[in-house]
Structure 1
Amino acid sequence: MRRHADTISHESSRNRHIATVVAALVLSAAMFASAFIMARFPSAVAPVVQTDVTMTKADRVLVLSPHPDDESIACSGLIQHALEAGAQVRVLWMTAGDHNIVGPPLFWRTAPVTPAQFRDIGHKRMQEAKNAAHVLGLSSNDLIFLGYPDGGLSDIFMNVWTSKPYRSGVTNAASVPYAESTVAGQPQTAMNLLTDLEQVMTSFRPTIVVYPNLIDFHPDHQATELFVIAALADLHLSPQRLEYVVHVPGWPRPLRYAPFVDAYAPPAARVLGLRQEVVHLTPQEVGVKTRAIQAHASELLPFATLVAFARRTEVFLAPADLTDRTDAVRTAKFFFPINRVGDEDRPVIQTFSVTDSAGGLQLSLEMGRVLNRLEEMELFLFPVPTTGGFGSAPKLHVIYRGGAATAEVSDLEHPTAKPVIARVSHDGTTISLTFDNALTGGRLQGFFLRIEKGPGRVDLTRSRTVWIGVVPAVS
């Protein structure tokens, strides 16, 4: 009997030894994998200075989501913290997410072809957004759907203010086609969209506004930022602003479900010097965020990596706050995506400065090289008067040809009107364009600017649309 017991004891000891060796091997493999990830993707773990986002019951938080799912991907933790603090929360969706040609064949086993089928996608995605919002603790009264064209917000901001409404290429609608929308039937123009946002902001009076950052690659996300900035400027509101990012190639890392990993900002945020603000999530809150993302079921099959955003932190970016007094080198960095800045063969901007005086607005651009006489550059200049009324302010389209002493200026809202002239001066590779007050509509609180090389050239480049504030002169 004792021999049998000794045998059992010996086998048990051997099993424990084997288990210990296996555990050691697994731990070593995990450590090696972690070391590999840290070496391969240093931006994911590099230390940064971050400020914690804090909210109280006195706050009113407005989250703006370009599509159904962005609010869950980027802001689930923030929404949970706001509700826990007793703050009021509203989530506003700019579009219904109806321009979805990948998800339906996989999820609903139906490939959309007709406008009615695409509108049906919009209805279903709005329902998914409601389901996700309820997971986060929001009620139906906290949700606002506008339903403007998915994939069309950038075109609307740049080209469709008070003219013929924008017609969606998938729903074939020129007015908002969804009964769930608070503005159902509204003609799809930039003026109407801006007015809709301003009405929400006027009634809710947010103390915190959350929306996409300009380094996000998706045009709808970029346009959402522009509409939000325009609305805040028009209404002269100054809430705390938190900006988020969803679409950046190769980000985040690791591109998989990693609930015990900290989130981090895209590399461009560090290059541009954008301050980071963070929300810390408990394991339970990460679980709620994961379920909220999963509620957007039609998006999970084609984009299974959406759960990669369910991490133990959420990182937001503070606004760039570029003004006419910002360093000219720093301002220039915001126009062109980082992967283009080092391309010396293109006329990328080296410095950008602004002078706003009684004589008008002067923009000075130091280019990477001199433009020859066969080249031209386009600028889209949208000024915001100090009195507001951005929607009805001029939307200027400027064409400058290399070496010319003037540039042609036309108003996009009056395309048949004869172009007028802006003065141009040169100093080496620096081009200075002066727009008198008659062109810009008077003294400004800021302006939107996009720069293009082209059109129709092989080396076409297009900048981001950047907001630059004008600091009032001290009398």
Structure 2
Amino acid sequence: MRKISGNEFLETIKRWPRWKRYTLVAFVSPPLLGALFALLFYANLHRSASAMTSEPLPAFPPLVPAQRLLVIAPHCDDETLGVGGVIAQARHDGIPVHVVFLTNGDAFPAACALVTRNLQPAAKDYVKLGNLRQKEALAALKHLGVGPEDVTFLGYPDRGIRALWEANWSPEKPYKSPFTQKDSVRGEAYCGQSLVSDLTQLIQKTRPTDIFVTHPADDHQDHSLAATFTEAALQKSKVERVLMHYYIVHRGDWPLPQGYSPSLPLVPPAGFTSADTHWRTVTLSHDALKAKERALKEYDSQLKLCDRFLNSFLRTSEIFGQLTQAGIDPMHTASVRDGQGDDVVRFANPSTDLTRLDAQLVGKNLKVTLNLRGASAPGVRYALHLRSEKGTFLARTLRSPYLSQPGSSQLVCSIPLAELETGTQPLEEALWISAETGMTARNIVDQTGYRYFALHRP
């Protein structure tokens, strides 16, 4: 077949009927415009990341012998990615560290197929993957100076932590993993109450001075809810003077640049400069970084599939955020500021990009206002989730009658406090509140994560 030159191709198109040329333009233009938009977005994101690199973050306070660290990881590898360097430095200095894994990370179909060589994995294959990931975690932590006696595998369902908080709170309604087909661990039902109880006992046993856990605004639902369950357990434990430090693993297109860059510092996601997280950085020693790198290499089941992303966390530093607990009362508005424009979908569609959540007591109602980067749109789902300390859960999709200003960048919802009360018991002294946007219930574009609010009534 004779090759056609570019000029010949253009001459051929010119001879086409007008309708045919218009059809070609209509077919080709959207993907080209989409590619151009994505290119501009990533160029801007890289520029923002470079600017943040030149502006040093405040330093994390040096670790001291009196500290006791509790690291909570949603999956096996999160502890190394987010806290590996700090763990290594703490153990080098003789500071005790206990690591808790909420799940075994077994609900990863691609990894399961690779490990078991079965393109249609069965429940036993996912269990096998979970066992392998436990072994990888123990080997990784050995490089960081943590022995098996200081590691706890709770074994709750991977990709099911949010369901435990919202839908499967009590043992009467356990969650069943669609992957392992399990609905219990160590004789305890997969439910929110069990997870809070387990974490509470661990906090009381280890008496940590510092807890490291994933950030509530992490895009991965297990990560986001890990922060929520940890906060709930800490409140229940009554252990005082504990500092919470939040690390991020999944948030938009981050870390930047992607790939192995051990000479660069780790900086927060670009959109988080406007959020209410106060970031601090830990500069890793040469030995700590090398220990972290050796630890990460133990996660072979993950590196085979996403090595570029995982190696992005091998940097000269690690970052940890602090959040200020807000109080809700009739005189003041409590606010949560969210990151902005740090994901290509959120950047392209401002109507899905949350910027702030405001909460205030107005009489016997809780007034919650969601602020968006753009005007609200009919095709976007706006949801508000609340949970009381006693476990009462309430979900609201923000549409009439809860949506007061359609088409604006503010969505206002007024909820009677009586709806959050349990039987004859009045509402307790605190609430967890979360807001999210998405196209469907399963497609979440942006979220604040659950945040803890103390209630101050008149």
Q: TM-score normalised by the shorter chain: which range applies?
A: 0.7 to 0.9
CA distance in structure 1 between the partners assigned to 2:295 and 2:75 by the alignment: 14
CA distance in structure 1 between the partners assigned to 2:429 and 2:341 by the alignment: 23
Corresponding residue SS for 2:312? helix
CA distance in structure 2 between the partners assigned to 1:175 and 1:202 by the alignment: 23
Aligned pairs (5 A) from 1:216-235 = 216-235=218-237
Match of 1:168 in 2: 177
Q: Does 1:271 align with 2:277?
A: no
Which amino acid in the other structure matches residue 331 of structure 1? V
Deviations 1:70-119 (A, max 9, x none): 11111111112222332221100000111122234445645461111110
Aligned-pair distance for 1:189?
Answer: 0.8
TM-score (norm: length of structure 1): 0.74
Match of 1:467 in 2: 451
Which amino acid in the other structure matches residue 301 of structure 2? S
CA distance in structure 2 between the partners assigned to 1:345 and 1:289 by the alignment: 40
Deviations 1:153-207 (A, max 9, x none): 112211100142111111111112xxxxxxx232111111111111111111111
Aligned-pair distance for 1:49?
Answer: 3.1
Identity in percent: 22
Aligned-pair distance for 1:53?
Answer: 3.4
Which amino acid in the other structure matches residue 275 of structure 1? H
Match of 1:323 in 2: 327
Aligned-pair distance for 1:394?
Answer: 1.5
Corresponding residue SS for 1:286? helix
Aligned-pair distance for 1:456?
Answer: 6.5
Which range moves more in the overlay, 340-349 or 268-277? Answer: 340-349
- If you compute each CA radius of gyration, which structure gives the higher value, 1 or 2? 1
CA distance in structure 1 between the partners assigned to 2:92 and 2:261 by the alignment: 24
Q: Does 1:435 align with 2:435?
A: no
CA distance in structure 1 between the partners assigned to 2:284 and 2:377 by the alignment: 55
Match of 2:137 in 1: 129
Q: 1:460 to 1:89 in 2, by over 3 A?
A: closer
The answer to whether the Cα contact below 8 Å between 2:49 and 2:270 also exists between their aligned partners in 1 is no
Deviations 1:277-333 (A, max 9, x none): 222212222111000000111111101121221111111111243433798595254
CA distance in structure 2 between the partners assigned to 1:190 and 1:396 by the alignment: 15
The answer to whether the Cα contact below 8 Å between 1:166 and 1:188 also exists between their aligned partners in 2 is yes
The answer to whether the Cα contact below 8 Å between 2:272 and 2:339 also exists between their aligned partners in 1 is no
Q: Does 1:380 align with 2:385?
A: yes
Aligned-pair distance for 1:271?
Answer: 1.9
Q: Does 1:211 align with 2:205?
A: no
Corresponding residue SS for 1:302? helix
Aligned pairs (5 A) from 1:22-101 = 41-43=49-51, 45-101=53-109
CA distance in structure 2 between the partners assigned to 1:198 and 1:241 by the alignment: 15
Deviations 1:384-410 (A, max 9, x none): 2xxxxx4xx3112346652x4xx7xxx
Match of 2:360 in 1: 354
Match of 1:141 among 128, 133, 149: 149
Which amino acid in the other structure matches residue 274 of structure 1? T
The answer to whether the Cα contact below 8 Å between 2:60 and 2:282 also exists between their aligned partners in 1 is yes
Q: 1:99 to 1:350 in 2, by over 3 A?
A: closer
Match of 1:17 in 2: none
Q: Does 1:446 align with 2:401?
A: no
Which amino acid in the other structure matches residue 381 of structure 1? L
Match of 2:312 among 304, 308, 313: 308
Match of 1:395 in 2: 393
CA distance in structure 1 between the partners assigned to 2:448 and 2:72 by the alignment: 20
Match of 2:41 in 1: none
Q: 1:395 to 1:135 in 2, by over 3 A?
A: same
CA distance in structure 1 between the partners assigned to 2:251 and 2:202 by the alignment: 29
Which amino acid in the other structure matches residue 430 of structure 2? G
Aligned-pair distance for 1:250?
Answer: 2.2
CA distance in structure 1 between the partners assigned to 2:110 and 2:149 by the alignment: 31
CA distance in structure 2 between the partners assigned to 1:97 and 1:279 by the alignment: 27
The answer to whether the Cα contact below 8 Å between 1:96 and 1:150 also exists between their aligned partners in 2 is yes
Q: Does 1:191 align with 2:197?
A: no
TM-score (norm: length of structure 2): 0.76
Q: 1:350 to 1:281 in 2, by over 3 A?
A: closer
The answer to whether the Cα contact below 8 Å between 2:276 and 2:323 also exists between their aligned partners in 1 is no
Match of 2:369 among 360, 365, 385: 365
Corresponding residue SS for 1:257? coil
Q: 1:444 to 1:370 in 2, by over 3 A?
A: farther
Match of 1:293 among 270, 293, 296: 296
CA distance in structure 2 between the partners assigned to 1:462 and 1:265 by the alignment: 17
* Runs of 5+ unmatched residues, structure 2: 1-43
Q: 1:290 to 1:366 in 2, by over 3 A?
A: closer
The answer to whether the Cα contact below 8 Å between 2:271 and 2:339 also exists between their aligned partners in 1 is no
* Runs of 5+ unmatched residues, structure 1: 1-35, 177-183, 385-389, 408-423
Aligned-pair distance for 1:375?
Answer: 11
The answer to whether the Cα contact below 8 Å between 1:365 and 1:430 also exists between their aligned partners in 2 is yes
The answer to whether the Cα contact below 8 Å between 1:263 and 1:312 also exists between their aligned partners in 2 is yes
Which range moves more in the overlay, 66-75 or 322-331? Answer: 322-331
Corresponding residue SS for 2:217? coil
CA distance in structure 2 between the partners assigned to 1:56 and 1:347 by the alignment: 40
The answer to whether the Cα contact below 8 Å between 2:86 and 2:288 also exists between their aligned partners in 1 is no
Deviations 1:24-55 (A, max 9, x none): xxxxxxxxxxxx99858424523043122322
The answer to whether the Cα contact below 8 Å between 1:374 and 1:401 also exists between their aligned partners in 2 is no
Which amino acid in the other structure matches residue 258 of structure 2? L
Aligned-pair distance for 1:242?
Answer: 0.7
CA distance in structure 1 between the partners assigned to 2:48 and 2:189 by the alignment: 49
Deviations 1:444-474 (A, max 9, x none): 442122346799699997643331422646x
Q: 1:53 to 1:81 in 2, by over 3 A?
A: farther
Which amino acid in the other structure matches residue 353 of structure 1? A
Match of 1:12 in 2: none
The answer to whether the Cα contact below 8 Å between 1:77 and 1:281 also exists between their aligned partners in 2 is yes
